[in-house]
Structure 1
Amino acid sequence: MEDLISPKYQMKLIKEVSEAIWKEFGGYVQVKYYISKWHETNSEARGYSNYWENFRIVENGGEKIDLLATLHSMDGTTLLKIAIDLGVDTPDFIPSIPTFRNEIKSEYKTAYDTFQKAYKQIETDPSIAIGLANSALESIIKEILKDERIASKTTGGETLYKLSSIILKEFNLTDSENPKEIKTIGNSLLAINQAIEKLRSEKTNFHGKTTEDYLIQDSIFAYFVINSVATVGLFLNSYYKTKYPKQQTEQLEELSDDLPF
């Protein structure tokens, strides 16, 4: 993971993480407590040559932490974990995430909460992150299919693959009368969602595993899947709003909610 995060991007991220930490915890004592929870060391090692720590906690006068110097002593992976823990957007590393979260926050509350949990688990538990991302995408499609103008309805027990088949058919993206290239892209989108579902079912802890089963443990796979979920989710929501624009009564209700009287 370290070699995927450029020094230039680390410099930018350090500034944003520092601001987020001060905003969250306020004072030197709480900031130091927070940073200490990320600090690892073999303090029981005998002799200085055997001493190891994952980063240095730098102090600046008394016991006050020098947060910027401390953050600069961290490797890129630890820095990214802290950014994710604090909810700092990482658009240069996970491009679709900030846009996707803003899009679904108001209209898909369940999906938003689930996706937030997935995002925070990327580094600590990639397997759980993938499973939650799958669930978030399911929630979005289910909400779209509730629209009364959409003929196809669900029973509640459909998997991501089945839900994707329904909505792509409803959007006419896999119809045979479409240009071959459009149909190919539509089928590829379906294949992506099927692969995400299979990962959740067969390569994560969501369906129980034995010691012999393969379990995803590399966070880079979680980044890959969550980026894919964000991209697919953004497209489906955008296409839905274009194909089925909000009715005038709904728009008037939203406007009246914003009025101060």
Structure 2
Amino acid sequence: MNELISPKYQMKLAADVEKAVWDEFGSYKNVRNYIEKWYEHDEQNYNWENFRVVIRDDKNIDLNATIHSMPGEILLKVAIDLGVDTPDFIPSIPTFKNEIKSEYKTAYDTFTKAYKQIESDPSTAIGLANSALESIIKEILKDKRLKSKIKGNETLYQLSSAILKEFNFSSTEHPKEIKTIGNSLLTANQAIEKLRSEKTNFHGKTNEDFLIEDALYAHFIVNSVATVGLFLNKFYKTKYPKSEPEIEEDDILPF
């Protein structure tokens, strides 16, 4: 993954991570303790180390130099662990988080957990991302202006079918390209659901079952969920805008 992250982007990310570390831990002692949890060293292998923990003359950690000694892959993991947005590497996620933070609290909390586990537990990250998307669609379908009624135990595929029907993506009035987009969204969500059910540890697995353990797949799936979620929420808010509250005459100022 390191080769996927440009030096220019790493410079910006390093600055954001450095600030986040100080904001989170506040003291040299705690900062060093946190950074050393990422540090690996092997004396038997020519004193190999995954990055350098740089110590200043006053015995305190030089956080800036230490962070810049990290490979891009480790730097990205630290950023994700601290909740630092990575818009140039995972472009949809910061926008998605901002969009759902106030209106979809459960989905936001679930998605944030998914995002933070992309590197450490890709399988769980995919499962949580699936759950977050389910939560968003359920919230949208609760709108009384929509005809579909849900019981609460629907799968992501069933929820996706319902919301696409509500959004009328299969209408004969639409060009075939719009119908294709609708079908593609349904297929994508079905694939995400199948990955969660069959290729993650959300359901019981045996030693012979394939389990997603590569973080690159988790990055792809979580970013896909963010993209689909953004589109569905934007479409919903455009087609079904919230009505402005009526102003009572008593609330009108007399001037």
Q: TM-score, normalised by structure 1?
A: 0.92
Q: Distance in 1 between matches of 2:30 and 2:88?
A: 29
SS at match of 2:109: helix
Q: Distance in 2 between matches of 1:175 and 1:208?
A: 40
Q: Which of residues 195, 199, 202 in structure 1 aligns to 2:198?
A: 202
SS at match of 1:39: coil
Q: What is the CA distance between 1:111 and its match in structure 2?
A: 0.1
1:101 alignment counterpart: 97
2:86 alignment counterpart: 90
2:36 alignment counterpart: 36
Q: Distance in 1 between matches of 2:11 and 2:113?
A: 26
Q: Distance in 1 between matches of 2:51 and 2:139?
A: 45
Q: TM-score, normalised by structure 2?
A: 0.94
Q: Which of residues 221, 227, 233 in structure 1 aligns to 2:223?
A: 227
Tell me whether 1:190 sits opposite 2:186 in the alignment. yes
Q: Distance in 2 between matches of 1:124 and 1:60?
A: 30
1:166 alignment counterpart: 162
Tell me whether 1:121 sits opposite 2:121 in the alignment. no
Where do 5+ consecutive residues of structure 1 fail to align?
257-261
Where do 5+ consecutive residues of structure 2 fail to align?
none
Q: What is the CA distance between 1:157 and its match in structure 2?
A: 1.2
Larger proportion of helix: 1
Q: What is the CA distance between 1:175 and its match in structure 2?
A: 2.6
Q: Distance in 1 between matches of 2:172 and 2:186?
A: 15
The Cα RMSD (Å) is 1.5
1:6 alignment counterpart: 6
SS at match of 1:111: helix
Q: What is the CA distance between 1:176 and its match in structure 2?
A: 3.7
Q: What is the CA distance between 1:178 and its match in structure 2?
A: 2.0
> Please, which moves more after superposition, 118-127 or 178-187?
178-187
- 1:132-151 correspondence to structure 2 within 5 Å: 132-151=128-147
